[in-house]
Amino acid sequence: MPPPSERPLAEAVPYSGPLLTGVANDLVIPSVLNLEEEEKYWVPQQPNVWFRPLLFSLSQGYWVNILRVRKSGILSRHRHSGPVHAATLKGRWHYLEHDWWATPGSYSYEPPGDIHTLEVPEGVEEMVTLFHVTGSYTYVEPDGTPVGVEDVFTQLETAKAHYESVGIGADYVMSLVR
């Protein structure tokens, strides 16, 4: 059989075989890049910092969200237990420990074990970045002393509490669990 690139285009016929056991439903959230979406979908994380959850994978320990920051300065210092993928949509940011800058349209990969201090520089009115986080963040002091932990479960609980408080309800956030 020739490789797929050399085969003629297939007729547009959907798969009709048996479904695999245990496969989660697809998840589609319209207009996630519409940053003017109703404020109630943005979960407050700290003053002038919000996240918009897109997916919580409890079985694999990761979450996907859009982080929105409307302040300059240090956001957090943390260590990753797993990899992080990020795509910057608006504004710019960097880590004090590295010489690269995340700017609109850029992709960044952060390896497990990396410790860094996130800064949004002066003059940036809004920073918006899509993050895919696996594992946890351990928030640390400059000398590495742990001061807090965040993972898919704490993110889920924060989102549930927010959505309950604004009238959307926990059912909405549970619809993002896969």
| Predicted confidence (pLDDT) per residue in 32-90, tens digit | 888 877 889 999 999 999 999 999 999 999 999 999 999 999 999 999 999 999 999 99
pLDDT at 57: 97
Instruction: Kindly tell me if the per-residue pLDDT of 1 is higher than 80.
Output: no
pLDDT at 31: 87
State the total domains in the chain.
1
pLDDT at 126: 97
Query: Where do we find the tokens 């943390």?
Result: 78
pLDDT at 132: 98
Residue at 23 is within a domain: no
Instruction: Kindly tell me if the per-residue pLDDT of 26 is higher than 90.
Output: yes
Residue at 4 is within a domain: no
Distance between CA atoms of 69 and 126, rounded to whole angstroms?
6
Q: What is the pLDDT confidence band of residue 5, given thresholds at 50, 70 and 90?
A: confident
DSSP string across 104-156: TT-EEEE-TT-EEEEEEPTT-S-EEEEEEEES-EEEE-TT--EEEEE-HHHHH
Show Cβ contacts of residue 135 under 8 Å, excluding neighbours closer than 6 positions.
61, 62, 80, 81, 82, 83, 112, 151
Residue at 62 is within a domain: yes
pLDDT digits (tens, 9 = 90+) for 141-176: 999 999 999 999 999 999 999 999 999 999 999 999
Residue at 21 is within a domain: no
Residue at 13 is within a domain: no
pLDDT digits (tens, 9 = 90+) for 92-126: 999 999 999 999 999 999 999 999 999 999 999 99
Residue 77 · residue 147 · CB < 8 Å: no
Residue at 77 is within a domain: yes
Distance between CA atoms of 128 and 67, rounded to whole angstroms?
6
Residue at 18 is within a domain: no
Domain of 93 in residue numbering reads as 47-174
Domain with 147 in it: what CATH number? 2.60.120.10
Q: What are the tokens at 18?
A: 């048996």
